[in-house]
């Protein structure tokens, strides 16, 4: 038995003998708070208190373990994920993520939790784009515990929260548990599990999602469609086309066309051509993405004329992406590639431009031009391009990022260092 576990058992014995009168409970809550202020030295004492019969005490213990912020607190937090109370499970989950992504407890579900009698109330934020860098390795026992929680937590909230945590932590080991969670009847669990699978990007999970492509909940259906495209499940193309044809609204239709555009073949070209000039800008953008990934140079004249005529930013960015993917590799004032780089300065559209640059710079021709943009870009462009190249770059990228680590702007330099670490961790 580990020393920490021995200490925990010894310290637990007197606690079990305590009564649970209001006064005693209040005193133990206060004690947990005091321990939390003592840092890692008090973690063995806090670990013992996880067996307290009162939920309010255990909740406070988990808060204190998170506040201690020590790696020594990870083991008791893993133990707390197996608690029989939803709030304890949720706070333990967020505490584990917080160790790898500081500040998460404020933005995660813990930040909005309230207890009304036996009910736990909390609100999941709509923004779910947080994810740790690839070079950070999470302990396997943490991913295992969160996987078990995602598929078998005591409440739907704790399951959904664990699924979200697995996405943030890139928990590939828990993909089987996330797939199991997809058979839940709770929409939030379904949605969070799908988004987690998007972040993890284990292509083997694609076939397990097909049955959700016609889900009655619009949010779940769209997430399933998007996940199918991102996981490149070509076997689901007939079901995606069926979802497109039977779509109840334009949101679903756009998602289905975008998913098909992720893995186009010659049979899809007619469909992309049909909606390339549609009145709906989302369908125009999705069609342009389809042309982009077909990579047919003969489509360039059509794409260029549409790029010059388009007035809506979404489809225009897609057309710029398509032109770069079909071979228009130049970095001039009005070139499509420069347009994508310039958009990295846009608060509203930088995410779109980033995804297009990430995909296009996997091609060495476009990547070499991105190196030139990296040298002369704005602060935001340098930061975003460093992040992009960390994911799309190759061995040649290392020499291009190293000078950026000495940039006069400390934020740029720090981001370049992180990008280098991520890149080197990914390269063979």
Q: What is the mean pLDDT of the chain?
A: 92
Q: Please check whether residue 148 lies inside any domain of the structure.
A: no
pLDDT, position 69: 85
Task: Annotate 296-305 with b (16+ C-beta within 10 A) or e (fewer).
Answer: beebbebbbe
Q: Please check whether residue 350 lies inside any domain of the structure.
A: yes
Average pLDDT over residues 223-251: 97
End-to-end CA distance of the chain: 38
User: Is 90 exceeded by the pLDDT of residue 21?
Assistant: no
Q: Please check whether residue 372 lies inside any domain of the structure.
A: yes
Q: Please check whether residue 23 lies inside any domain of the structure.
A: yes
Residue-wise pLDDT for 402-428, tens only, equals 999 999 999 999 999 999 999 999 888
pLDDT, position 127: 81
Average pLDDT over residues 280-303: 96
Tokens describing residue 56 = 């309010």
Contact of 205 with 179, CB cutoff 8 Å: yes
Q: Please check whether residue 5 lies inside any domain of the structure.
A: yes
pLDDT, position 89: 97
Residue with tokens 């993405």: 289
Q: Please check whether residue 230 lies inside any domain of the structure.
A: no
Residue with tokens 């004690």: 31
Q: What SS3 class is residue 160? A: helix
Contact of 7 with 48, CB cutoff 8 Å: yes
Q: Tell me the percentage of the chain whose pLDDT exceeds 90.
A: 83
- Write the CA distances from 148 to 153, 156, 312, integer angstroms: 7, 13, 45
Residue-wise pLDDT for 24-67, tens only, equals 899 999 999 999 888 889 999 999 999 999 999 999 999 999 99
pLDDT, position 9: 40
Out of 58-62, 114-118, 301-305, 395-399, which region has the weakest mean confidence (pLDDT)?
114-118
Contact of 371 with 405, CB cutoff 8 Å: no
Domain boundary among 39, 57, 80: 80
Sorted by sequence, the CB contacts under 8 Å of residue 212 that are 6+ apart come out as 182, 190, 194, 220, 221, 224
Tokens describing residue 375 = 């040298």
pLDDT, position 3: 45
Domain boundary among 25, 58, 80: 80
Q: Please check whether residue 297 lies inside any domain of the structure.
A: no
pLDDT, position 334: 92
Q: Is the four-CA dihedral 58, 62, 67, 68 of positive or negative sign? A: positive
Structural domain tally of the chain? 2
Domain boundary among 80, 110, 143: 80
Q: Please check whether residue 75 lies inside any domain of the structure.
A: yes
Q: Is the four-CA dihedral 368, 371, 376, 377 of positive or negative sign? A: positive
**Of residues 77, 101, 79, the one with CA closest to residue 91:** 77
DSSP 201: -
User: In which domain, by residue range, is 414 found?
Assistant: 329-428
pLDDT, position 279: 95
């Amino acid at each position: 038995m580990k020393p920490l576990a021995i200490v925990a058992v010894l310290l637990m014995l007197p606690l079990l003998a305590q009564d649970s009168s209001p006064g005693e409970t209040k005193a133990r809550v206060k004690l947990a708070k005091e321990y939390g202020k003592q840092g890692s030295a008090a973690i063995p004492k806090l670990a013992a208190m996880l067996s307290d019969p009162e939920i309010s005490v255990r909740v406070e213990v988990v808060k204190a373990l998170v506040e201690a912020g020590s790696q020594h607190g990870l083991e008791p937090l893993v133990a707390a994920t197996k608690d029989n109370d939803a709030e304890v499970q949720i706070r333990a989950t967020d505490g584990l993520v917080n160790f790898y992504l500081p500040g998460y407890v404020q933005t995660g579900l813990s930040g909005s939790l309230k207890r009304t009698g036996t009910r736990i109330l909390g609100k999941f934020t709509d923004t779910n784009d947080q994810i740790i860098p690839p070079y950070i390795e999470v302990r396997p026992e943490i991913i295992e515990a969160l996987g078990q929680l995602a598929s078998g937590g005591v409440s739907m909230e704790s399951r959904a929260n664990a699924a979200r945590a697995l996405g943030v932590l890139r928990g590939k080991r828990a993909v089987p548990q996330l797939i199991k969670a997809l058979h839940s009847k709770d929409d939030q669990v379904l949605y969070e599990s799908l988004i987690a699978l998007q972040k993890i990007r284990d292509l083997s999970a694609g076939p397990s999602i097909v049955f959700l492509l016609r889900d009655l909940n619009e949010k779940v259906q769209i997430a399933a469609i998007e996940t199918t495209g991102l996981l490149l499940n070509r076997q689901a193309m007939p079901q995606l086309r069926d979802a497109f044809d039977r779509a109840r609204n334009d949101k679903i239709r756009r998602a289905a066309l975008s998913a098909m555009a992720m893995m186009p073949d010659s049979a899809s070209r007619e469909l992309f051509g049909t909606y390339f000039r549609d009145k709906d800008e989302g369908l125009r953008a999705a069609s342009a993405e389809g042309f982009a990934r077909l990579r047919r140079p003969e489509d360039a004249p059509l794409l260029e004329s549409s790029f010059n005529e388009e007035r809506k930013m979404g489809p225009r960015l897609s057309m710029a992406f398509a032109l770069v993917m079909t071979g228009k590799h130049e970095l001039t004032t009005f070139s499509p590639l420069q347009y994508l780089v310039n958009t990295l300065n846009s608060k509203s559209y930088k995410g779109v431009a980033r995804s297009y640059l990430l995909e296009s710079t996997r091609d060495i021709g476009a990547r070499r031009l991105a190196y030139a943009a990296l040298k002369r870009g704005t602060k935001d462009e340098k930061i975003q391009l460093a992040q992009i190249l960390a994911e799309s770059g190759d061995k040649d990228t290392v020499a291009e990022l190293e000078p950026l680590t000495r940039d006069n702007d400390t934020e740029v330099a720090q981001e370049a260092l992180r990008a280098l670490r991520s890149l080197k961790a990914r390269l063979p």
